[in-house]
Structure 1
Amino acid sequence: MLSSFVKLLVSDAERSARFYEALGFKRMHAEPPFIHLRWENQAEVYLVAVPSAVALEGRRGVGVLLGFRIGATGLNEVAERARAHGAGVEGPTVQPWYTREIIVTDPDGYRLNFIEPV
């Protein structure tokens, strides 16, 4: 288990898990209400199903980018996979800090920032 992780409240945990797995995340464990995913042995994400009686209102993660370093799965491949699943993709953009980055929006509106060095 890695020392840092993020928990995301999602409206449909299985739909979100399928989306993240399509990008290249690996499902580690699932026990409602959590689905534990891992990105290339670097980062962990817990998708947390919100009870059906609770409505998620408003935009998710306003002002927050969840950053993931590119490893075995290339930046272009992640972008193609995201587009194939109907996700919005911004970039790639070359940043002044010597990285090439894309931002992918997940089904609940969270913004995922995939980063590779140039």
Structure 2
Amino acid sequence: MFNFERFSGQSEDAGTFRAKIDGCWHCPDGKYTAIGPDAVAELVRGWLTDDNPAPRPEGLDKPVRVFAHWEPDEEDPGCGRAWTKTPPHLGADGRWWIWIDGPRLVRCEDVRVLGRGEL
């Protein structure tokens, strides 16, 4: 485990870490990944229990129209139609995430691709 702030030089990264496993950096989404204490615990739990992450979600690799749920606020109901902006990526928490327009980062499990009749 390495202090991520040393790599980024950004004070907002304090309290996050990078992990090196078997001589390779842990990069679940293909880039340098800062992980917090909860994600470190989840990573260790996965090693101890031999849990594998859920399979990569299908049908979300190119921009598609979806119905998604996100955290609501005073003026936003927390759900609606949107376009996907990026392919899914595996987060440090072991869940698949995707950026949708807004811009919002949502869990892939909270996204449903709309059928032709729903567009």
Same fold by TM (over 0.5)? no
Q: Give TM-score scaled by structure 1 length.
A: 0.31
Q: Specify which structure has the bigger relative contact order, considering alpha-carbon pairs within 8 angstroms and separated by 6 or more residues.
A: 1
> Which structure shows the bigger proportion of residues in helix conformation?
2
